[in-house]
Amino acid sequence: MTTISAAEASRNFSAVLDRAERGETITIVRHGRTVATIAPAPKRTGRALREALENTDVPPFDDDYESDIANALSLVTDEPRDPWADA
């Protein structure tokens, strides 16, 4: 883990975000006190949502419930998608 001053983080914020995106955790200090930690965002694929929807014991609320769940599950993928792929 890297520690940098708040002033350095402010001057180089884009670079700090780049480092976090590459997997690094950065601690930011001001006057010797830790004020923030910037870390990579957890990768979310929708797996938890898929499992919750598939493993529910709640009875259907209406006639469309099963098809609503099936439609929601069809939108969820286990693979992370590159948001810039189509740019």
pTM of the model: 0.52
**Do 16 and 37 meet the contact criterion of CB atoms below 8 Å apart?**
no
Considering only residues 80 and 75, tell me which one the structure prediction assigns the higher pLDDT.
Answer: 75
Please report the pLDDT score of residue 22 as a whole number.
Answer: 94
Whether the predicted pLDDT of 60 surpasses 70: no
- CATH code: domain 2-38 is 3.40.1620
Query: HSE of 63 in the Cβ direction (CA atoms, 13 Å)?
Result: 0
Q: How far apart are CA 39 and CA 37, in angstroms?
A: 6
The CATH 3.40.1620 domain(s) of the chain lie at: 2-38
